[in-house]
Amino acid sequence: MSTVTELSAGKREQTKARNREAILAAAKQVFAEKGYEAATVRDIIRCTDLASGTFYNYFKSKEEIAEALAIDASSKLRVILTEQRRRTKDFPDYLNGIFGAYFHFLIEEYSIEGTDGRHVMRPPATQSVTPAQKAVFEEIRSAISQRLGKELPVGSDVELITASITGIARNVGLQMLYRKPQDPDGAARFAAGMILHGLSIVEGRGSQ
């Protein structure tokens, strides 16, 4: 392949990446302002400088866009959670860290400045669990199992603890997003307390 051809191919890839990012950014704004159910592909296209034909080279429906947003968000989140694992001192510190990091991530990712003020985009749901979402679950499960498991009550089910963490994170995070003012640190303390208090009850019952 000649140098000219390589440069041309590189520019095409850069253009494709820019177009994809433009579509996803527009979709986030439209979903935040109109709501996912009311939003249409036409609304999203209007928020970009792209022609309809160009748009459909990337996504065939708003469902595909929602899935792409969910995958991208999960990939970013896994990096953040991995960094929290590295910094953590103990299990309570880990919980506060990952909840806090996740809630700040939600604000950055889904609190959107629109044409008529700030809107909240509900994090998109997917029809099935994506590999990126599975990777987030596995990152948390692995951190608890490999590094923090010794701090848990004897017989603790790491899978269920991980499921509890992710479930509480999603639901508390949604409530936090829609509150004014948003308080990610307060929400993190609450969520971590829920897990720690629940485990203390389980431990107490196990010792009876």
Determine what percent of the chain falls in helix, strand and coil, rounding each to the nearest 5: 75, 5, 25
The helix/strand count (H/E) of the chain reads as: 8, 2
| Superfamily for the 66-206 domain | Tetracycline Repressor, domain 2 (1.10.357.10)
Nearest alpha-carbon partner for 123 in 194, 177, 59: 177
pTM: 0.81
Amino acid at position 60, single letter? K
Provide the strand spans (E) within 67-156.
111-114, 117-120
Please give the Cα distance from 187 to 173 (Å, whole number). Answer: 7
pLDDT in tens for each of the 208 residues of the chain? 555 555 466 788 888 999 999 999 999 989 988 888 899 999 999 999 989 888 999 999 999 999 999 889 889 999 999 999 888 889 999 999 999 999 999 999 888 876 566 678 877 766 667 788 889 999 999 998 887 777 787 778 899 999 999 999 999 999 999 888 999 999 999 999 999 988 876 555 544 4
Beta-carbon contacts of residue 48 (< 8 Å; ≥ 6 apart): 22, 23, 26, 55
Q: Where are the domains of the chain?
A: 1-60, 66-206
- Looking at CATH, the fold of the domain delimited by 1-60 is given as Arc Repressor Mutant, subunit A (1.10.10)
